[in-house]
């Protein structure tokens, strides 16, 4: 039996050995913590670690998880002894459940004493001493109203392989089962909750250079490294943020490892689409073509992503499970359903890996991220019918996505705006936000027979109301409250007027462009029966057309010849008029139709005013810019630009645009071009001509080059940057170099030469040289005795247009003054004088030399000094040590240097013996 004191000593030794083992054992490679909310305040957390299989001494059968609420717990490994993978890697799961005391935001974490050894960018060369730490932050929402909140699932393992000098790409491929929005962020790894890893370097900070660059796409999660420079193991940390309704509700930090090998290998190539948007119910089939540039290698194709994780109708990847010879083909197939509708894009990451590392059953991989959006179908056949007290809307029932799991389909929202708004349907852009509509009903589910119906009573006489419908979807909380709402594609538009009892102008089109004989055609629709009560308002009926100059709708003048009367409403009267003898060159015209009834010709009402299109233009180098405007009660949704053929005189279509401007680019300078705009629009009201076409006046212009070229980006180099940067005979030079602010703006455009300007003090510049465009974009300014000064450069085109000055770049002297510490004034003509070793850009000095008793024996202001070892009376001084102070003044600037050289002091050994 051990004596007590020996027993304590024995325990201390054993404990010390355990601590030493833990301190030196190499273990963790990568990991993260994820969780699933399984109750009101209960989660199931999973710690996932990737460790070094051969480090048996450091293998953990349990890990201590700090839950973030002041409690902690040791959690046993859930997958036995772990899953051993190729390459000395073990995968471990530690799973436990925990109930929190209340709602809030919590951060759970775990720390393990050891990372693996020899990680190049973690506390190199002692990464083994750095703890491995990851954390996950989450928020308990109110599940009755806001739904549950589970973390993202990271579908790509955190171990990957790269080759020196080859592009590397990795994607953690996060999937959120709650359809929350996610973003990616590259961060520094941690060793504790409030401590980053010491001496951490991002991979591009090891051998810094233009080819060693890293980036992380915050949307897709693609991490790219172009290109690794040194073999070894690296670790990076990626933070995946989770948002609901634009509010951050959680994050997962993954710490992952990258193995870089020195391998003569190029990654495979993947050809496929980048993005697709489909309507729920459509089947997706995406071909994926994989090749490999290395002869004799095989490839294997896999894919991960949200579509494969769906409970209902998951996606399939049709591909060989083995390595196959390229070129290899895979097919991604997914039969989408209404339950797959989501606000965010689904993401699949296709991975093609070669078999270069045959001992690891792996190789160099290429990734291809494909984004897929599944949108709700538009409600179909929306129609409107006007009544005396409102507008009735109907659309088809059943809706193709009204049968969904767990009440996912909520109903329909109804949107309204004054005047029509026609826009092309974009499958990737559901909803109506930003389309100028107002939501007037949040959820409607009123079904009557084969239609859904809504009756809008909140309308006013005379207004044109236009409607669209959206299908609405959302996940439901425990009490049935929706969260993460999703809108479908918009329905077709339908428009209605409560009472159409006044004229409606449908055309104001310029027929002739002239200063005196211009003409405009105006058309209008008469009031609609029975909206106009002809018993209460009997005839005769009169229509008076009025005109206003410009876009002015406040001062109208009746057109005498445009006055039309009929005894009975049904009697045909003109509703079209050609307004002549106008100056349609300088201005537009605005029109209104007044409607009168009864024998006393009482004004019943007036149409909305409508103007002609007025076109204007400006010109520049090989370009004519067109801008136009109009004020009309209908919605113009497209414009056609016509240009006159100078030979035939015919108008020829050159473009269609949605906005009220267009630039005709690439035309000939000095030649006249003439244009006309035709608008295409609609009221969106049944019974009114649709579409509506109207013409602008004709306008002509000549393209002339009055635009200066782009401004070069200037830099100045000299011997301060490179001591060997001198002229052919050792002259001082400033080497001016310039480049393009944007690719091609100097080399691919009209640039003839460059003017170079100089100023001694950046105030007044003088021209010093012109450099041809054929030069190497550089100029050598040969100087006398200083390189200080300021430069600017301009670019000049073939028409003589000169840009403004570039950014002014100034060059300062870099004075250098270095003195020896010994000289031998013994008359052998070698080292007989005390002179500086280096003397550059020094104008004068104030030098004093003292003997060891502090007596001044020599002084000078000559930078070359030329002291021959005599005192101020010309008597030879004895051998020994002398001391000096010197104040150095820079060439030309005449100021005491306060930086760099400034005041110098030192000792001089004067030796006379041979």
- Contact call for residues 43 and 267 (beta carbons, < 8 A): no
More confident residue, 742 or 178: 178
Q: Which of 242, 20, 250 is nearest to 135 (CA)?
A: 250
Task: Check whether 897 has a pLDDT greater than 80.
Answer: no
Task: Check whether 898 has a pLDDT greater than 60.
Answer: no
More confident residue, 201 or 357: 201
Report which listed range, 119-128, 455-464, 585-594, 737-746, is most confident: 585-594
pLDDT digits (tens, 9 = 90+) for 634-663: 999 999 999 999 889 999 999 999 999 999
Helix (H, G, I), strand (E, B) or coil at 400: coil
pLDDT of residue 291: 95
pLDDT of residue 25: 55
Mean pLDDT of the chain: 90
Cis peptide before 188 (omega within 30 of 0): no
Pairwise CA distance, residues 275 & 630, whole Å? 38
- Contact call for residues 347 and 372 (beta carbons, < 8 A): yes
In the chain, % of residues over pLDDT 70: 95
- Contact call for residues 777 and 747 (beta carbons, < 8 A): no
- Contact call for residues 237 and 197 (beta carbons, < 8 A): no
SS3 content of the chain, % helix, strand, coil (to 5): 5, 50, 45
Q: For residue 651, give both structure tokens.
A: 């108008």
Task: Check whether 402 has a pLDDT greater than 50.
Answer: yes
- Contact call for residues 905 and 850 (beta carbons, < 8 A): no
Confidence of residue 360 (pLDDT cuts 50, 70, 90): low
- pLDDT average, residue stretch 259-279: 92
Confidence of residue 346 (pLDDT cuts 50, 70, 90): very high
Pairwise CA distance, residues 160 & 224, whole Å? 12
pLDDT of residue 461: 81
**Does pTM surpass 0.85?**
no
Q: For residue 101, give both structure tokens.
A: 């005391």
Q: For residue 127, give both structure tokens.
A: 């990464």
Q: Which of 14, 16, 34, 22 is nearest to 60 (CA)?
A: 22
pLDDT of residue 892: 54
pLDDT digits (tens, 9 = 90+) for 721-771: 888 888 888 888 899 999 888 877 887 777 889 999 999 877 889 999 998
Pairwise CA distance, residues 49 & 237, whole Å? 14
In the chain, % of residues over pLDDT 90: 68
Euclidean distance between the first and the last CA atom of the chain, given in angstroms as a whole number: 86
C-alpha distances in Å from residue 662, one per residue of 483, 654, 671, 692, 709: 43, 10, 18, 21, 22
pLDDT of residue 891: 65
β-strand partners of 521: 509, 578
């Amino acid at each position: 039996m051990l004596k007590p004191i020996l027993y304590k000593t024995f325990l201390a030794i054993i404990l010390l050995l355990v601590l030493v083992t833990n301190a030196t054992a190499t273990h963790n490679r990568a990991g993260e913590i994820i969780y699933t909310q399984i109750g009101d305040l209960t989660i199931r957390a999973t710690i996932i670690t990737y460790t070094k299989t051969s480090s048996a001494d450091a293998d953990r059968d349990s890990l201590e998880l700090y839950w973030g609420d002041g409690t902690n717990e040791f959690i046993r490994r859930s997958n036995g002894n772990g899953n051993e993978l190729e390459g000395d890697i073990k995968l471990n799961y530690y799973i436990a459940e925990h109930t929190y005391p209340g709602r809030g935001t919590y951060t759970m974490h775990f720390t393990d004493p050891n990372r693996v050894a020899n990680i190049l960018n973690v506390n190199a060369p002692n990464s083994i001493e750095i703890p491995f730490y990851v954390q996950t932050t989450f928020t308990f929402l109110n599940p009755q109203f806001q739904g549950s909140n589970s973390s993202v699932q990271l579908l790509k393992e955190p171990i990957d392989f790269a080759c020196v000098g080859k592009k590397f790409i990795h994607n953690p491929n996060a999937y959120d089962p709650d359809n929350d929005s996610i973003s990616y962020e590259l961060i520094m790894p941690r060793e504790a909750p409030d401590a980053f890893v010491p001496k951490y370097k991002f991979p591009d900070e090891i051998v810094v250079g233009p080819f060693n660059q890293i980036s992380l796409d915050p949307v897709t999660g693609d991490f790219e490294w172009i290109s690794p420079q040194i073999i070894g193991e690296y670790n990076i940390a990626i933070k995946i943020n989770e948002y609901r309704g634009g509010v951050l509700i959680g994050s997962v930090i993954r710490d992952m490892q990258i193995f870089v090998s020195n391998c003569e290998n190029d990654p495979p190539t993947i050809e496929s689409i980048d993005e697709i948007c489909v309507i729920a119910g459509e089947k997706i089939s995406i071909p994926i073509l994989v090749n490999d540039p290395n002869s004799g290698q095989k490839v294997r194709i896999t894919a991960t992503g949200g579509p494969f994780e769906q409970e209902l109708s998951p996606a399939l990847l049709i591909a060989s499970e083995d390595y196959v010879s390229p070129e290899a083909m895979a097919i991604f197939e997914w039969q989408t359903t209404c339950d797959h509708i989501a606000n965010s894009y689904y993401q699949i990451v296709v991975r093609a890996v070669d078999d270069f590392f045959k001992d690891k059953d792996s190789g160099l991989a290429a990734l291809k991220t494909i984004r897929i959006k599944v949108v709700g179908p538009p409600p179909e056949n929306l129609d409107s019918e006007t009544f005396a007290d409102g507008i009735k809307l109907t659309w088809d029932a059943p809706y193709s996505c009204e049968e969904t799991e767990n009440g996912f389909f909520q109903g329909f929202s109804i949107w309204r705006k004054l005047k029509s708004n026609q826009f092309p349907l974009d499958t990737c852009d559901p909803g109506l936000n930003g389309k100028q509509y107002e939501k007037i009903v949040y959820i409607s589910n009123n079904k009557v027979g084969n239609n859904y119906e809504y009756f809008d009573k909140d309308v006013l006489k005379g207004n044109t109301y236009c409607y669209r419908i959206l299908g609405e979807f959302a996940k439901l909380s425990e009490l049935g409250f929706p969260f993460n709402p999703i809108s479908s594609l918009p329905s077709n538009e339908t428009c209605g007027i409560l009472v159409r009892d006044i004229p409606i102008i449908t055309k104001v089109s310029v027929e002739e462009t002239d200063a005196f004989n211009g003409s405009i055609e105006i058309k209008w629709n008469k009031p609609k029966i029975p909206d106009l009560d002809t018993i209460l308002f009997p005839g005769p009926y009169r229509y008076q057309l009025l005109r206003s100059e410009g876009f002015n709708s406040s001062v109208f003048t009746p057109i005498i010849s445009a006055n039309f009367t009929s005894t009975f409403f049904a009697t045909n009267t003109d509703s079209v008029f050609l307004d002549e003898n106008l100056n349609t060159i300088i201005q537009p015209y605005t029109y209104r139709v007044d409607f009168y009834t009864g024998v006393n010709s009482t004004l019943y009402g007036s149409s909305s005013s409508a103007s002609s299109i007025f076109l204007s233009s400006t010109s520049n180098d090989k370009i004519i810019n067109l801008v136009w405007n109009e004020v009309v009660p209908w919605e113009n949704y497209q414009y056609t630009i016509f240009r006159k053929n100078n030979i035939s005189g015919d108008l020829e279509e050159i473009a269609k645009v949605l906005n009220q401007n267009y630039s005709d680019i690439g035309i000939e300078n000095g030649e006249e071009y003439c244009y006309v705009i035709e608008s295409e629009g609609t009221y969106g009201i049944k019974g009114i001509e649709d579409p509506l076409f109207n013409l602008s006046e004709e306008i002509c212009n000549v393209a002339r080059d009055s635009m200066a070229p782009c401004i070069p980006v200037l830099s100045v180099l000299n011997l301060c940057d490179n001591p060997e940067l001198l002229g052919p005979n050792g002259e001082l030079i400033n080497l001016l170099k310039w480049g393009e602010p944007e690719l091609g703006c100097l080399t691919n455009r009209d640039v003839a030469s460059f003017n170079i300007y100089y100023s001694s003090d950046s105030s007044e510049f003088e021209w010093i040289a012109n450099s041809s465009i054929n030069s190497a974009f550089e100029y050598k300014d040969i100087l006398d005795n200083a390189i200080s000064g300021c430069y600017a450069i301009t670019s000049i085109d073939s028409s003589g247009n000169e840009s403004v000055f570039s950014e002014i770049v100034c060059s300062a002297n870099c004075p250098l003054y270095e003195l020896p510490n010994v000289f031998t004034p013994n008359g052998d003509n070698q080292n007989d004088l005390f002179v500086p070793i280096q003397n550059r850009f020094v104008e004068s000095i104030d030098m004093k030399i003292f003997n060891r008793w502090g007596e001044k024996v020599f002084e000078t202001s000559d930078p070359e000094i030329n002291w021959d070892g005599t005192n101020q009376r010309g008597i030879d001084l004895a051998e020994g040590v002398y001391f000096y102070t010197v104040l150095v003044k820079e060439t030309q600037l005449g100021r005491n240097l306060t930086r760099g050289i400034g005041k110098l002091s030192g000792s001089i050994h004067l030796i006379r013996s041979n």
